Each structure stands twice: as C-alpha cells, then as structure tokens.
Chains A and B, each alone.
Chain A
Amino acid sequence: MSEQKTMAPEIGSLALLRWAWRQLTSMRTALILLMLLGVAAIPGSLFPQRNQNPQKVDSYFTSDPTLAKWMDRFHLFNVYASPWFSAIYLLLFISLIGCVLPRTFHHLRAIGKVPPLTPRNLDRMEGYCTVETDSATALDRSLLWFKKNHFRVRIEGDSISAEKGYSRETGNLLFHLSLILILVGVALGSLLGMKGEAILNVGDRFINTPTSYDNISYGKFQGQGSLPPFALTVKDFVASYDAATGQPSNYVLTTDISNPLGTAPKRVIIKVNKPWTVGSTKVYLQANGYSPLVTIKDKSGHVTFNGPVIFLPQDANLSSLGAIKVPDMNPQIGFIASFIPTASSSAARGIFSTYPEVLDPRLVLSAWKGNLGLDSGTPQSVYSLNTAQMTKIGLKALTLGSTYDFGYGTITFDGWKAWVNLQIVDDPGKMYALFGALFAILGLLISLFTRQRRIWVKVGNGVEIAGLAKNGIPGLEADLTALTRALQEEVAE
C-alpha cells in the first residue's frame, strides 16, 4: 500500500514533466517566447542601463528615489542581465533544442530514404492533369527529366514518385543549430571573458595588472591572474577635426608596447577601428579628453599640488569638467573647474567652447575651502567635489600661464595634456558566436530559397501527373508544366 502511495505521485509528476516538456517544445510556445523576447528587450532601450550610462541611472535615483528603487527591483536598469530576461531566452533555447534535436535525428534518418509511395488517388493532389502522350515510354522519359532536374525518385511498377528540396529542412536545421552555437559563444564570453578600462594621460605607462585599471570586471570562471603581461606607454595622441563642422575626423594614438613585459618596446598605432590584439585580448581606443596641468602653492610658496588632472568632456566642443583636490593644505582646498579648449563668451552662456581643439584655452575655477571629505570612508568620484562641508571662496577664469591668488595660496594654469580611455577586452567566445552567425545566414538562405515539392507520374489511365508543394510555396506549377512539355516534346519529335 505504502509503495503504491509513493509510486502514484511519481507517475503523476513524470506525466506532468512530459506534458510540460511537450508544451515547452511546441512551435506555439517557441513563437510566443520569441515574441516575448522581443518585447522584453524594449525597456532596456527606454531606460538607462547601469553598464552603459551609470550617470543617468544615478540621476533617476536622485530625482525620484522611491520610483527608482522600485524600477531597480524589477531590474529595469539592468534589463539584459535580469532574471526575467534570462528566463525568457533560456526557456526559448531549451524549447529550441527540444524542437530541433529530434528533428535533426529524424532528418538524418530521412536523408538516405526514397520518396514515399505514389498516392492511390492522384486526382486529389495539386496540379493534377493527364498528359496526351505515349504511355508506354512515359515513365522512362519522365525518369530522365527527374534525373536531369535532380529529383530523387522511387519507381513502383506503373508510377514514379519523385521528391526534391530536402536541403530546405537541412538549411532550416542548420539555421536553428547555429543559433544555439551563438548562445554558446555568448555564454563562453560572459563566463570566461574580461573587460576593463583605463584612462591614461599622454606620457603615462600602463602595466597590465588589475590594479592599473580604473574599472575591471571578470567573467564568473575567469581567473584574475590571467591577464596577458604587457606594458603600454602612451607616446602621443593626435585628434584632427574638420574645420568647417568641428566634427572629429581622425584619432591616432601612438604607443610603445613591451609584450611580454621586459622585452624591447615596439611602436604600435591604435585607432578607433584598429585595436591592438594580443591573443584573444584586444586593446581599443575608446574615448579621449583633456587634462589641464596646474601648479598650486601655499602662501609660503611651497608646491602642494602639481600635475595633470583628468577632466571629463561635456559636449562636442570638449568643454570639460573636473575637480582639483588639495588635501595637504590648511584648510583643505578644492576646485570645481572647467577646461575650455577654444573659448568664447556671451552674456547668456558665459564662457563656452567653440571648437574641440585647444586654440585659446581657459581654465574656469571655483575655489572652495573646508573639508574635502576624503577621510569619511565613502568612496567619492575624482571628477567631482563634495562641497557639503566646504564654503566657496572665489571664482576665476585663467588664461594659459596666468595665476590666481585664492587667498590661501595660488594656482597656475601651466598647460594641458590629452588623455585617452583604453578599453581592454578578452572574449574567448566570440569566434563561436561569429561562426554561429555565419552558419545561421547560410542555413537561412538555403531554407528560404529551396522549394520542397513532390511530383508523381502514373500510367494506366493515360499518363497522369500531379504534385505537392510543401507549405504551399509557389513554383510547383512551373515544374509540372516543364515536365508536361518534356513528355510531349519527345512525341512531337
């Protein structure tokens, strides 16, 4: 009794599983999941995504924290890595595998087989007609035509059953199997890959270790010590602009790379569409901007800060914003500053940039004193000043080489350097994705441009012919007409 009791639910759950599997792998479910995937991709294009535009996500949190928190709960700022998005595409691919694998086996078995028997009642088929021709030789002559047109044939006494276009299913399966290969490539990339960014001023040296990066993220199974050991020195960066429109026309980054570390450096030019490759890792030129050079001295003339400060570009003419922090002064001093490469001014806009190249630079400073908040423990951006515990002590626009006395010391605008943002990416799965994509197109072309049809010829009641086109795809009539002509022509001769 007790055995039966435990057996019963097991059979039930097995049946349920089988039912669920059959539901999941049905065409209808696959179609719904496919549409659902398209719909699910939409919110990610409407709301800012954390990995693409973190500043904009932050602005959602500052303008309406409650709403933003709820949006975050539904992963609306990280749609493409969210559980619900993953659930849809995983279900879709399970459904796809469950649908495609049995069909593949079925197709492989069917490849060597001859076409099915000629149906008893040909007149129920499409394009049925009788051909006025000599019935004694009709079968031989149609066989000739079938062979010439690459049909596979089955001869059964008084009839021929011919079929063409098996490659339609081959292409179809190739396409769907390739989609699975693409997913494998994507998965490998995200599990074994690595992506990082580093901002370097011209003249800086970058050694490829995790600490050199401004941010770096690894795939789940990527060992952190596996970065290729190279060192890269930024020798020069040239940005050229179209004088009429101010649009950039070319970026050229000149580097010296020692690969592996310790070998003699080689000159390497990196451009926007020309990354540098080492193994499966690539180094890309991603963005650029300006770092103004400043010297800050205290009242006694002692230098408390000297060097380039990376500023972030704000517009197409590279007006750049940044923060200069001097913790080693008493009181602590900070500047919120903008670097204007080619300055112009108007009453409405103040000082602004009219051209992205440095032709007539200004450094616009607002000076603050107080507590920079660097010891509070919470990390803060190097590009902005936390003025919560500070008071503003002055405002000044500096031309190149000029000095501003802010009361507790002086700041001199010495010059500028260009900086570049390098993106370093390792994606070992991308070749799988690429081959998957290419095979997918091939399969698609084969399946969409192959017409699968059957044609029968039967003698006895005169010469009867008929056909059947899979999915009602047109073109069958043309075949039947050609066959009829072939049968009649020979008689005429």
Chain B
Amino acid sequence: MTTSSLAYFSNDAIYACLAIFALAFFSHAVEVSWSVKNTSESDKTEFDFSRTDRAGRLGTAMMILGTIVLAVAVITRGLSAHRVPWGNMYEFSITGALMLNAAYLFAFTKYKVRWLGLPVSISVLLTLGTAITVLYRPSAPLVPALKSPWLAIHVLAAIISGGVFLVANLVAATYLVMDRYESKGGRPTWAAKLPSQDALDQLSYRLVAFVFPLWTFAVIAGAIWAESAWGKYWSWDPKETWAFITWVAYAAYLHARVTVGWRGRRAAWLCIFAGSTFLFNYIWVNIWGTGLHTYSGL
C-alpha cells in the first residue's frame, strides 16, 4: 500500500470504530438497564441477570473488536507518515481513545468490571467523533521539535496515564451517582448489578495508584526531552504547569487516602478534580493555550 492509501485506510478504520463502539455502547446500555427483570414480582431482591447477559457479552466482544480496529487505525496512521502517530491533536486523540480502551480491558480482565463498558464506550465515541470531525489533520511529517526518540516515550506514557486516569474518573463518578441514590434510600434496580460502593471506591484508588508512577515518569521524560530541545528542563510552559498541577492533585489524592484515610465521597471528588485538570490540560492548553507545546495543528 502506498503511504497516502494507508492514511485513507486509517481514516476508514476510525469510521468503522465509530460504528463498533456505538454498537458496544448500545449493548452495554441494554445489559445495564434491562438486566433486572424480576423472576417473581413479589420478591424484589432477587434479580435475574441471565436474560441480558448475552447483550453484555456482545458489548464486550464489540469493545475488544473496536480496540483491535482502533489499534490498526493508529498503527496505519503512523506507517502512513513513517513515524510514531503522535504528531498532532488528532493523533493524540485516537491514541488516547485506544489507551482508554486498553485501560478498560485491563480493568475488565482483572476486576470483572463489564458495566464500565457503558461509560467507556460513550467516552471513546465522543473522543473519536471529535477527533475525526474537528481535530482531523492530513498525515504529514513531524515538525523538527518533535523529531526525537523521547516523542515515543514521553507521549506514550502521557497517553496511557490519561486513559487510566479517565477510567478512574468514570469509576469515581459512578461512585458519586450511586452514593446519591443510596443516600436517598437505595440504588435503582438498574444499578443493582454494579459493584458495591466499597469496591468502586477501591477500584478508582487502585487505578490511580497503579498509574501515578507512570504519570510521574511522563512528566520527567518530558523534562528530559525539554532539556534537549528547548535548553531548559522546566520552563513553566502552560502544558508543563498543568501537568504539574495534575501531578500535585493526584499526589494529594494518594496522600489523602493513604495517610489521612479519606474514603468515599470526598476521595471521589478529589479524584474527579485531579482528572479534570488532566482533561483541561489536554483540551484547553492544546487548543487555546500558548506556549511551547503547540502541536495540535489547529
């Protein structure tokens, strides 16, 4: 295949992903919302999940298929320009969506969190949809500042961290929604299948604790790269500043949990706040910010 046809192939794969993740979202929605048809009307505590289990399994199959197709899209995008596919915001976004999926599938195999497919698939749909319509840029060589082995290391670490942070945020948000229901007298029937509040609380903490060292590494790798590209390892460029703020927020979250013993609602809010600083950095600083990290191509 020629390089430009590879780029077109990558675009087609992204469109295919949109369809696959839409299907995944629909399957998960069916699974979650209809999973609680009671076998006997009188006994409301007994749930029959078997009837929509098939929808859930279809959802998982779609998530796996979508991840594979998305991986192909990202790889062919890189091949089309003979480089790692992290040269502009479109490419960051599709790789970010891939990492979000990977983080979900990892959490899925480890903690049996099929229900997370619902918020994850809609997030991926939104990310890919925005990427292909608003952020899209033709495949092109890298600008000189990005020509460095650190591109692969720094950006990959940052994107993986971002994917896991987002999953942790989705879990924390689910915790807060369920918390509201429980404080008002109990979860709605459709949410009966979700994990306990304790398990949700633990899961978001574990995801953050797992990926925090990687995020630290991403920031440090960025500093090492900045030293060789710009002459200063830290210059308080807006992107660096917000990466630092994200780091501080997650550090505070981990301390609050481990040392001070925060759990539940407060911890979930802090987790969501920290994740929002990451998103703010990605969206606001890339598109409207000034500074040295202006690679969005917009």
Interface residues of A (CB under 8 A from B): 27-28, 30-31, 34-35, 37-38, 41-42, 44-45, 48-49, 52-53, 56, 79-80, 186, 195, 242, 244-245, 247-251, 271-275, 282, 284, 286, 423, 425, 427, 430, 433-434, 437-438, 440-441, 444-445, 448, 471, 474
B144, A448: Cβ atoms under 8 Å? no
A52, B237: Cβ atoms under 8 Å? yes
Tell me, rounded to whole Å, the shortest Cβ–Cβ distance linking A99 to chain B.
10
Closest A residue by C-beta to B236: A80
Per DSSP, chain B at the interface is helix
Q: Mark B258-272, 1 if CB is under 8 A from A, else 0.
A: 111000000000000
B224, A434: Cβ atoms under 8 Å? yes
A52, B141: Cβ atoms under 8 Å? no
Residue of A52, A438, A474 touching B235 (CB-CB under 8 A): A52
B145, A273: Cβ atoms under 8 Å? yes
Residues of A within 8 A of B142 (CB): 249
B230, A284: Cβ atoms under 8 Å? yes
- Tally the A-B contacts, defined by beta carbons under 8 Å: 126
Q: Which of B211-225 contact A (CB under 8 A)?
A: 212-213, 216-217, 220, 223-225
Residue of A30, A423, A430, A448 touching B212 (CB-CB under 8 A): A448
B245 at the interface (CB under 8 A from A): yes
Could you list some 22 contacts between A and B, CB below 8 A? A38-B244, A41-B248, A48-B290, A52-B235, A52-B291, A53-B290, A195-B232, A245-B137, A249-B141, A249-B143, A273-B145, A273-B148, A275-B228, A423-B230, A423-B231, A425-B232, A433-B223, A433-B233, A441-B213, A445-B213, A448-B209, A448-B212
Residues of B within 8 A of A31 (CB): 252, 255-256, 259-260
Q: A35-B249, A42-B241, A284-B231 are in contact. List 18 more A-B contacts (CB 8 A).
A: A34-B248, A34-B252, A38-B249, A41-B245, A44-B236, A45-B236, A45-B242, A52-B237, A52-B291, A56-B290, A245-B138, A248-B144, A249-B142, A272-B229, A275-B228, A427-B232, A427-B233, A445-B213
Closest A residue by C-beta to B209: A448
If A41-B244, A425-B232 touch, whether A444 touches B212 (CB-CB below 8 Å) is yes
Taken together as a complex, chains A and B put the C-alpha atoms of A48 and B237 apart, in Å, by: 10
Closest A residue by C-beta to B229: A273
Identify which of B241, B249, B256 gathers the most chain A CB atoms within 10 Å of its CB.
Answer: B241
B236, A52: Cβ atoms under 8 Å? yes
Taken together as a complex, chains A and B put the C-alpha atoms of A423 and B232 apart, in Å, by: 10
B192 at the interface (CB under 8 A from A): no
B233, A273: Cβ atoms under 8 Å? no
B39 at the interface (CB under 8 A from A): no
| Smallest CB-CB A-B distances: 9 pairs | A38-B248, A45-B238, A272-B144, A45-B241, A273-B148, A284-B231, A437-B220, A425-B231, A249-B141
Tell me, rounded to whole Å, the shortest Cβ–Cβ distance linking A252 to chain B.
9
Residues of B within 8 A of A28 (CB): 260
